[in-house]
Structure 1
Amino acid sequence: MPVPIGSALNEWLDGNAAGLDDGRADPASLLPRLAAAGLFGIGVPAAWGGQGGEVAEAVEAIAAISSRSLAAGFVFWSQRTYIEFLLQSPNEGLRSRLLPDLLTGALAGATGLSNAMKFLAGLEALQITAAPQGAGYSLDGRMPWVTNLRPQGFHVAAAIAHADGSGAMVASLPSDAPGLRRTEDLSLLGLRGTNTAAIDLHGVKLSPDDIIHPQAGLWLPQVRPAFLGLQCGMSIGLARRALQEATERGGAAREVLRLPLGELSARLAAEEKALRDGLRALHFQARPAPLFELRIRLADIVAEAVGLELQASGGRAYLQPQGEDFARRWREAAFIPVITPSLVQLKAVLAARPEAVAGCAA
């Protein structure tokens, strides 16, 4: 179902997509603009300040933004996914305290659970540990890659292992916590306007009031469909735009590429439907493998779509300034396979023993 974005935001994104990608645009302006369009409230119950609806509608909104700027879509995904974490948390106090500012864009939400998703799939140990300290904990560790770490203020979700090996929890850490250090932005090839950096933790105090869920192993499978489903919105939006650009090219390419463009568009529509249906029916909570496979197929469609755009554009795509938008989409497409969990990581889980794949849903 198409989500109306508004002409003002669309025009701003079109004018700033290159700057958000190469870092020339001020990233501080992005989050408030997305919030002003009401995007963060899509799929959020009205009782909690949102517009109602479901997660599938938020996926569509991320796709609409990503079709104009994947950097903007990436930030949108981070903010909306963090909001989803709070919606699915039993910690009502934390939700009530943070959600209003998240919906207005006054506060950034960072989904620092990439390590946790790899941990859940048996690919990596948790990188943050908690030792008891008074009524709470003392945290040490590192998050090497986190997006939406807005210098104006953020909360970052983190999966944390108990130092005694008794399990793990998920908590929200504020940017102004003593002992929490945000590095300079990472030197990315693109998407440089996304406030992506690393976080170091040295003796950071964690209060029970900031725990999203005390049992990560139980909670992460519950939120993983939204985490990955919303992430798929980026692939859908980028593929749509590349297919649109290829279809609109004139000349001999229009007829030669008509069939492959039609076939790829049909494949994309089928994957979109499978994602919507699976999210609405909650199929992916008990059976994550189909969602992993869907994410892989969408990444393949993105690669094919930008390839068709290149063929339809011909040499024009390799000239400046005519090919600048295509060059940005080509770089954006190169990012899709490495978003955590990466395609290699997903394929490794799917290639494991059937009981291991089933186990990553537990």
Structure 2
Amino acid sequence: MDLQILSQKSILEKLIEEKLKPYVKKIDTDAFYAEGFLRKLGEAGLLSSLNKSKKEYLLNEMYLVEETAKVCMTTAFCLWCHLAALTYVRQTKNNKLKERLLSSLEKGEILAGTGLSNPMKYYAGLEKLHLSAKPVEGGYLLSGVLPSVSNLGEDHWFGCIAGIKEGNDIMCFVPCNAEGLKMKEKIDYLGINGSATYACSFTDVFVPDEWVLSENAKEYVEQIRPAFLLYQIPLGLGVTQASITSIEKVCQKQNGCNQFLKKQPDDLRAIEHDIQQKLQSLFNGDSLNFRDIAKIRLKAAYLTLEAVQESMLHNGSAGYIQDSAPSRRLREAYFFANLTPTVKHLEKVLNG
């Protein structure tokens, strides 16, 4: 391991210890948004793709998500949102947009969300497209409602896809302060309420050509989907590892009766290790195969659900307290299973 990687790991550990751990309960119970932690990651250079290959920055950033998810998956999910948005800007051919925003996004000066839950379901044949676009001079007018977009704030941006009545769908990058855009915060979820999630209502929002990521959204989604999905897998792996650790801590509880439960830490760790191996092997080829990534993402979702349930069983009544770490991870895992692409979405893609 070279000195640069060691230094980055040390910086990340320090940021998690100082800027995230003290706020985990507040994030979970009071819908606190750990914006400061996300900005510090960028400020520390941990989101920079400068002088890195695509493989290098993908692996580096997947590690950031995994380590964050061990402590707080809500914040790791926000980080995933930002990384997905970074992917949109990194891969666009709109150089004006890239020159304006990429550096600021990587430095954490600007944070961003994804906005692609509905379009991903649309392209899989699960939903209709919620946004429409009308071509006008110098750009488009967008109308419609996105029910849930996360990691948003007054000065944040997010990606979205809108359909044109006669023509291709377009993919745009829109600031939260755009005229005609109204946002309503959503904090009534079972968990992850500290994810800065909003319903976004568009009423003739003018999107200039400089904000258009692609004028062929379907084709563009094919390009960004691998990274979009890869960044999600460490969300589950981080929660799984934290659950295994929590099981090990209570192995002697009640005179060691946990040994009689059918699933033990080694069983879970073996599956987690297999997923990690498969994840690493994806990078051995020249390109990333979406179906291979989807299979790993689905396996990670099922493992995460199993790991948090076992953690609840092993922890017993101590885990059945509303703000306990095992119950928080249980709620996080159910969110992960329903994060687009959901378990049923992935099952349809892979087996439908």
TM-score exceeds 0.5: yes
1:106 to 105, 109, 112: 109
Q: Is the 8 A contact 2:147 2:200 kept in 1?
A: yes
What residue identity is the alignment partner of 1:263? D
Does 266-275 or 22-31 show the bigger shift? 22-31
Cα gap change, 1:52/1:106 in structure 2, threshold over 3 Å: closer, same or farther? farther
**2:325 pairs with 1:325:** yes
**2:145 pairs with 1:142:** yes
**2:21 pairs with 1:21:** no
Could you tell me which residue of structure 1 aligns to residue 303 of structure 2? 301
Q: Secondary structure at the match of 1:181?
A: strand
Q: Is the 8 A contact 1:112 1:143 kept in 2?
A: yes
Map 1:326-345 → 2, pairs under 5 A: 326-345=326-345
2:51 to 46, 51, 55: 46
Q: CA RMSD in A?
A: 2.4
1:25: how far off? 3.3
Task: Tell me the TM-score normalised to structure 2 length.
Answer: 0.89
1:99: how far off? 1.7
Could you tell me which residue of structure 2 aligns to residue 211 of structure 1? 212
Does 167-176 or 251-260 show the bigger shift? 251-260
1:290: how far off? 2.7
Work out the CA distance in 1 between the residues paired with 2:190 and 2:330: 11
Q: Secondary structure at the match of 2:231?
A: helix
Map 1:184-263 → 2, pairs under 5 A: 184-251=185-252, 252-253=256-257, 255-256=259-260, 260-263=264-267
Work out the CA distance in 1 between the residues paired with 2:44 and 2:314: 34
Could you tell me which residue of structure 2 aligns to residue 356 of structure 1? none
What residue identity is the alignment partner of 1:53? E
Q: Secondary structure at the match of 2:76?
A: helix
Work out the CA distance in 2 between the residues paired with 1:8 and 1:115: 33
Work out the CA distance in 1 between the residues paired with 2:161 and 2:204: 16
Deviations along 1:143-181, whole A, 9 cap, x unmatched?
Answer: 111001123x111101111122x2112111111211111
1:10: how far off? 2.4
1:268 to 269, 272, 276: 272
Q: Secondary structure at the match of 1:218?
A: helix
Map 1:153-192 → 2, pairs under 5 A: 153-164=155-166, 166-192=167-193
Does 199-208 or 119-128 show the bigger shift? 119-128
Work out the CA distance in 2 between the residues paired with 1:56 and 1:22: 31
Could you tell me which residue of structure 2 aligns to residue 80 of structure 1? 83
Cα gap change, 1:312/1:37 in structure 2, threshold over 3 Å: closer, same or farther? farther
Work out the CA distance in 1 between the residues paired with 2:216 and 2:257: 55
Q: Is the 8 A contact 2:337 2:343 kept in 1?
A: yes
Deviations along 1:126-155, whole A, 9 cap, x unmatched?
Answer: 21111111121111111111001123x111
Cα gap change, 1:112/1:256 in structure 2, threshold over 3 Å: closer, same or farther? same
Work out the CA distance in 1 between the residues paired with 2:138 and 2:317: 64
Q: Is the 8 A contact 2:34 2:75 kept in 1?
A: no
Cα gap change, 1:211/1:220 in structure 2, threshold over 3 Å: closer, same or farther? same
Does 195-204 or 96-105 show the bigger shift? 96-105
Does 74-83 or 274-283 show the bigger shift? 274-283
1:34 to 23, 30, 41: 41
Work out the CA distance in 1 between the residues paired with 2:16 and 2:231: 20
Work out the CA distance in 1 between the residues paired with 2:122 and 2:160: 12
Cα gap change, 1:207/1:239 in structure 2, threshold over 3 Å: closer, same or farther? same
Work out the CA distance in 2 between the residues paired with 1:282 and 1:154: 34
1:255: how far off? 4.5
Deviations along 1:65-114, whole A, 9 cap, x unmatched?
Answer: 01100111011101111111111111122111112221232212110111
Could you tell me which residue of structure 1 aligns to residue 93 of structure 2? 90
Q: Is the 8 A contact 1:317 1:326 kept in 2?
A: yes
What residue identity is the alignment partner of 2:333? A
Q: Secondary structure at the match of 1:143?
A: strand
Does 122-131 or 60-69 show the bigger shift? 122-131
Q: Is the 8 A contact 1:18 1:328 kept in 2?
A: no
Work out the CA distance in 1 between the residues paired with 2:332 and 2:209: 39
Q: Is the 8 A contact 1:170 1:213 kept in 2?
A: yes
Q: Secondary structure at the match of 2:47?
A: helix
Unaligned runs of 5+ in 1: 353-362
Q: Secondary structure at the match of 1:193?
A: coil
2:72 to 66, 69, 73: 69
1:258: how far off? 9.6
Q: Secondary structure at the match of 2:163?
A: strand
1:238: how far off? 0.6
Q: Secondary structure at the match of 2:251?
A: coil
Determine what percentage of the aligned residue pairs are the same residue: 25
Q: Secondary structure at the match of 1:122?
A: coil
1:30: how far off? 3.6
Cα gap change, 1:246/1:107 in structure 2, threshold over 3 Å: closer, same or farther? same
Task: Tell me the TM-score normalised to structure 1 length.
Answer: 0.87
